[in-house]
Amino acid sequence: MSLRGKAAVVGVAESDLGEVGPGFTPLDLIGQATLRALDDAGLDKSDVDGLFSASAYHHMPTLSAGEYLGIRPRYSDATSMGGSSFVSHLFHAAAAIDAGLCEVALITYGSTQRSGGGRLVSGSEADPYEAPFNPRYPVSMYALAASRHMYEYGTTREQLAEVAVSAREWARLNPKAFMRDDLTIRDVLDSRMVSSPLSIRDCCLVTDGGGAVVVTGAERARNLKERPVYVLGAGEAHWHRSISQMPDLTVSAAAESGSRAYEMAGMGPEDVDIAMLYDAFTINTVLLLEDLGFCEKGEGGAFVSGGKISPGGELAVNTNGGGLSYNHPGMYGLLLIVEAVRQLRGECGDRQVKSANLALVHGNGGVLSSQVTAVLGSESTL
Amino acid sequence: MNPESGEPPAAVYRRYLESGRLGFQRCGDCGSAVFYPRVVCPVCGGADLAWETSFGRGVVYATTAVFRRDADPYNVALVDLEEGFRMMSRVEGVPAEEVEVGTKVILRMDREGDDPAPVFVPEGEGR
């Protein structure tokens, strides 16, 4: 069964971002984002009959969101596999809509982790076979992957720093980005080491924030307010939960999720105008560019160097500034979709990628554990 | 306890550690080394998992030094044991940042408070 072009994103929004201040709850941000996304779509809350969410705050996230919003869905999906969950929700929503199980799906997320203490809020349990050695979750796990990539392919800290600098260059074009100061490779290299080889500037931000995405069937989408952004393909894969169980630390399951999404879309990496890759750490961007076919395995370090993924470079990657410089509210996957849709609609102002018709959205979750890819396209790609 | 289930895998592992040994499982059906311990082989789905003692010789597969504000960094590593399984541990006997991928290491049973902790030292550093 192919879902190609069967469903479309018709509304997107961020909640307030950055630091929203004390007192606001994650559900308040879900409320903000939902109102804005429904308004963007020209739909009413009463139109929503499918609800999708994941959370580090709420054990039963669609129940909590549904109650707060006053939505009584007939289809509810709280798939939880870390930051990629929301790309998975998009995939599952397209399938549910195609199967007639719901007509209008709302995917939503909110987190107040910055105002609530400034540390990552995570529901992750400790792995009893890893915990005695005190890895710092999750940065040490990604640092281990970086160390292996460096060993096998000669990837350097400078190349990882290129990822952070490129993200910052994009962020400087985005008024909603949390970090917009100048950033040089030297700054990244000299910043405080957290878990070698990753310094604090190799790590994503800890911000508040949330978002909402409204999805419906292609036919209904054509009669709504905004130009639809079609789901052309999607795929998911996971091979491990704990880093010590990851078969090869230089190859993520994105190699499978990406192939599945490309195959459904009938597209390949050469067709992609913008790539939104979940950059929890700088090594992610390198690994994902390789695993999603933009370059050969081991060449990711060279691929990101010399401004090739910066504004005006060869490939537009993480045009909102990414988790590294825009916002990263604990789980970031939903905001990848928001940016991709805005780029395909041409709403991105200074950072708008010219004639962007095809976007790759890729979510990562856990410790390089879950990988979910979606290919989104404008009308011309159908 | 249902006697047919036998001893929980985590309890057996712990018993091995308490006696100064690093235990792992070997699948009787496909021969794969299995770690962490479980009741089903993740490679072939077999249930015939037999315990063995690792010789404790391995190679550093990946490494990181975790930095702290008030103390020296400490090492966290993934070690590939020669029997064919991988585990998280740390390499001691050298500064955390100087541990290198590819270094040959050997098991040293340490204690972490009340708990036995299987750590590694570079080969030739003595046990």
DSSP structure string for A101-161: S-SEEEEEEEE-TTTTTSS----PPPPTTTGGG---TTHHHHHHHHHHHHHHH---HHHHH
For residue B79, the chain A residue with the least C-alpha distance is A244
Mean pLDDT, 10 residues at a time, over chain A (382 residues)? 93 98 96 98 98 97 98 98 98 98 98 88 88 96 98 98 98 98 98 98 97 98 96 98 98 98 98 98 98 98 98 98 98 98 98 97 98 98 96
Q: Contact at 8 Å (CB) between A146 and A197?
A: yes
According to the model, what pLDDT value does residue A119 have? 76
Facing residue for B115 by CB, picked from A130, A132, A195: A132
Give the residue from A20, A107, A127 showing the smallest Cα distance to A333: A107
For residue B77, the chain A residue with the least C-alpha distance is A144
Residue written as tokens 């630390």? A249
Distance CA A198, CA A282 (A): 8
Distance CA B107, CA A115 (A): 44
Cβ distance A197 to B115 less than 8 Å, yes or no, reads no
* List of residues 6+ apart from A318 with CB closer than 8 A: A166, A167, A170, A275, A276, A277, A279, A285, A309, A324, A326
How far from A260 is each of A38, A86, A250, A373, A375, CA to CA, in Å? Answer: 30, 17, 20, 8, 10
Neighboring chain A residues of B112 at a CB cutoff of 8 Å:
132
| Structural domains of chain A in order of their starting residue, each with its CATH number | 7-117+205-381 (3.40.47.10)
Neighboring chain B residues of A129 at a CB cutoff of 8 Å:
35-36, 87-88
Kindly state the average pLDDT of the residues B13-27.
97
Task: Tell whether the model's pLDDT for residue B127 goes beyond 90.
Answer: no
For residue B120, the chain A residue with the least C-alpha distance is A133
* List of residues 6+ apart from A128 with CB closer than 8 A: B10, B36
Q: Contact at 8 Å (CB) between A23 and A208?
A: no
* List of residues 6+ apart from A166 with CB closer than 8 A: A304, A307, A309, A310, A313, A317, A318
According to the model, what pLDDT value does residue A1 have? 59
According to the model, what pLDDT value does residue A123 have? 79
Interface test with A, best of B64, B87, B111 (most A CBs within 10 A): B64
ipTM: 0.96
CB atoms within 10 A of CB A210: 32
Through-space distance between the first and last CA atoms of chain A, rounded to whole angstroms: 17
How do strand B57-66 and strand A209-217 relate by DSSP bridges?
Answer: unpaired
What is the sign, positive or negative, of the torsion defined by CA atoms of A314, A319, A324, A325? positive
According to the model, what pLDDT value does residue A368 have? 98
* List of residues 6+ apart from A353 with CB closer than 8 A: A273, A274, A316, A319, A343
Interface test with B, best of A151, A244, A248 (most B CBs within 10 A): A244
Return the number of CB contacts < 8 Å for A and B.
74
Q: E strand or H helix at A89, and its extent? A: helix A85-98
Cβ distance B117 to A132 less than 8 Å, yes or no, reads yes
Task: Tell whether the model's pLDDT for residue B125 goes beyond 90.
Answer: no
pLDDT band for position B114 (cuts 50, 70, 90): confident
Q: Contact at 8 Å (CB) between A358 and A375?
A: yes
According to the model, what pLDDT value does residue A124 have? 86
Continuous H helices in A222-363: 254-265, 282-291, 300-303, 322-325, 333-345
Cβ distance A144 to B63 less than 8 Å, yes or no, reads yes
Could you tell me the pTM of the whole model?
Answer: 0.97
How do strand A370-377 and strand A358-365 relate by DSSP bridges?
Answer: antiparallel
Q: Min CA distance, A162 vs chain B (Å)?
A: 21
Q: Which two tokens stand for residue A324?
A: 């590294």
Touching A: B residues 38-77, CB under 8 Å: 61-67, 73-74, 76-77
| Structural domains of chain B in order of their starting residue, each with its CATH number | 3-53 (no CATH), 57-122 (2.40.50)
Amino acid at B19: S
According to the model, what pLDDT value does residue B1 have? 46
